[in-house]
Amino acid sequence: MTTTRNQTRTVLTLALVAMAALVLGTSPASAASIAGVDFENDANTAWDRTPDDLDPGDWITVSADWTNAGNLRNDNGANSAGAHDGAFPARLQNAASWSITVSKPVILDLTKIEFAARGATGSSGTPSGRRGDFGTSLDGGLDGSPLWSNTNLIGRPPWTPVSVDLSGATYQGLTNETVTFHWKGTSAIDLDTIVLSGAVRAADGGAIPALPSLATGDTVQVSNNHSAFDISVFPGKAAYDGYAGSGVFGDGTVLDYRFFDSPNDNINSAGYANGGAGLISEATSSPANTSGAGESWANLWTTNDPGTNFSGGDAPNFPDNVNTFARCADVTGTVDISGLVSGQLYFIQGSYVNNWTLQLTMTGDGVPDVIETHTVNPGGSPNKAWITDFTFDNAIFYDTISWRYTNTDSDGSRARFMGVILDGTAPSQIPEPMTILAVGLSITGLGGYIRRRRRA
């Protein structure tokens, strides 16, 4: 019995250690390179001032360009004097800056920023009389006292390596905020090899969550030259069958749907049929982009049973002799995904012969937007329709997907849009860390109670 009790005690101890780690959080992550600028393209063959995201999986985004980017340029004198690391340095005259945005799921503790600087003049490596300054938005930028200042930089060709300590309290615990890094060259300086370092940890104390994704799936042509096709959102039989293929929506039962027509040259914003869940919004489209009452194209089952493979069941709720498509060249709407961690969106759209595009943007509080765009050139015969699906995943921090359908025929006469279907998965019901700890403590207490009973 002693061996058994020791084994039980060991297991419970390990369990409590694991639970405490969940509650108290993991130890701080090691510092790593987060962002930087080396002033050259990925192939190291051309000058490029674009700031680089050195760890795309850390939930920290980097600005697409510098502010006051015109103050930075590729300078032949700087090039001939040699780069600090690689092929191309930059000449800075006056002020310029770039930034990072720390998303809500993570916490950033900065450690340092390193770069190389020199006076943009001379050829003997003597003091140039040129001044360089650096600061961040967390400490007032370049106003007041910069974090780094050199009033007499050594001129070309040698470089002065600079390392600015960012380990103070001001630069720790950053989350859901943007930090800007400012440089200024008085009478012009050269810059190169900027590297920002810090440690990133999950805001909830656990592992850093996976990044979200939003991706185009299949685009299946369901109609050719205005041929009729079948669509069902009937529970358990949500599916389609058309010109070039058939398939199932989600697992056969969808969460919500909304279908549109355009009576009286205006889109029916609420739609002529919807799933009632309120997850798919009404649609908007300008009358200037809408033409005609719509298109009679699809057989649509919503509350009627389509039978097996659209055979032997009830008649469609909306047969192909009534308008089931809107003629709108620019349609927008939103989908509420706040209760979902992953899912699929299906769009039914068409065109006479003009190109059409679907653009989706996934948004949430304190996280970067995720954008996906899909364009189709119909070509060939006129009046085609397609079903296009998009998949979203790891979306626990996101609440909305905004969508937009556009057609190059701007007045809408050749544009076709039918509707949106949503299916998805809710997050797993995982107990809170404190609940897990309480259960662990209860188990420990129960073990002690059992031992006392045995001794008695």
Q: What confidence tens digit (pLDDT) does each residue in 258-275 have?
A: 999 999 889 999 999 999
Nearby residues of 442 by Cβ (< 8 Å), 6 or more positions away: none
pTM of the model: 0.84
Contact present, 386 and 222 (Cβ < 8 Å): yes
pLDDT at residue 36 tops 50: yes
- The backbone torsions φ and ψ at residue 296, rounded to the nearest 5 degrees and listed phi first, read -95, 110
Q: Which residue has the higher pLDDT, 42 or 162?
A: 162
Residues in the chain: 456
- Average pLDDT, rounded, for the chain: 88
Share of the chain above pLDDT 70, in %: 87
Task: Count Cβ neighbours within 10 Å for each residue of 181-196 and write b for 16 or more, e otherwise.
Answer: bbbbbbebbbbbbbbb
Q: Which amino acid is at 322?
A: V
Nearby residues of 410 by Cβ (< 8 Å), 6 or more positions away: 288, 289, 329, 330
At 210 the pLDDT is: 97
Q: What is the largest CA-CA distance in the chain?
A: 91
At 447 the pLDDT is: 40
What stretches of 127-173 adopt beta strand conformation (E)? 127-136, 148-154, 160-165
* Average pLDDT of the residues in 437-445: 42
At 120 the pLDDT is: 94
Per mean pLDDT, which range of 75-79, 130-134, 297-301, 375-379 is the poorest? 75-79
**CA pseudo-torsion sign 153, 156, 157, 163:** positive
Most confident among 11-20, 71-80, 170-179 (mean pLDDT): 170-179
**CA pseudo-torsion sign 197, 202, 208, 212:** negative
Nearby residues of 358 by Cβ (< 8 Å), 6 or more positions away: 347, 349, 373, 374, 375, 388, 390, 403, 404, 405
Q: Which amino acid is at 277?
A: A
At 87 the pLDDT is: 85
pLDDT at residue 413 tops 60: yes
At 341 the pLDDT is: 97
CA gap 172, 227 in Å, rounded? 62
At 438 the pLDDT is: 44
Share of the chain above pLDDT 90, in %: 79
* Average pLDDT of the residues in 370-375: 98
Q: What angle do CA 275, 276, 278 make, to 5 degrees?
A: 110
pLDDT band for position 100 (50/70/90)?
A: very high
pLDDT band for position 127 (50/70/90)?
A: very high
> Any bridge partners for residue 425, and if so which?
342
211 CB burial (10 A radius; 0-12, 13-18, 19+): middle
What stretches of 249-353 adopt beta strand conformation (E)? 256-259, 273-274, 298-301, 307-308, 311-312, 330-336, 342-351
* Average pLDDT of the residues in 357-363: 98
- Short-list 377, 330, 375, 320, CA closest to 352: 377
> Any bridge partners for residue 276, and if so which?
none
* Average pLDDT of the residues in 324-331: 96
Pair of tokens at residue 159: 């470089």
Q: SS3 for 164?
A: strand
Nearby residues of 320 by Cβ (< 8 Å), 6 or more positions away: 228, 296, 297, 298, 299
| Residue 175 vs residues 104, 200, 231, 427: alpha-carbon distances, Å | 6, 10, 45, 23
Enter the DSSP assignment of 304.
Answer: S
* Average pLDDT of the residues in 111-136: 94
At 1 the pLDDT is: 36
At 434 the pLDDT is: 43
pLDDT band for position 135 (50/70/90)?
A: very high
Q: Which residue has the tokens 């920002």?
A: 196
pLDDT at residue 451 tops 70: no
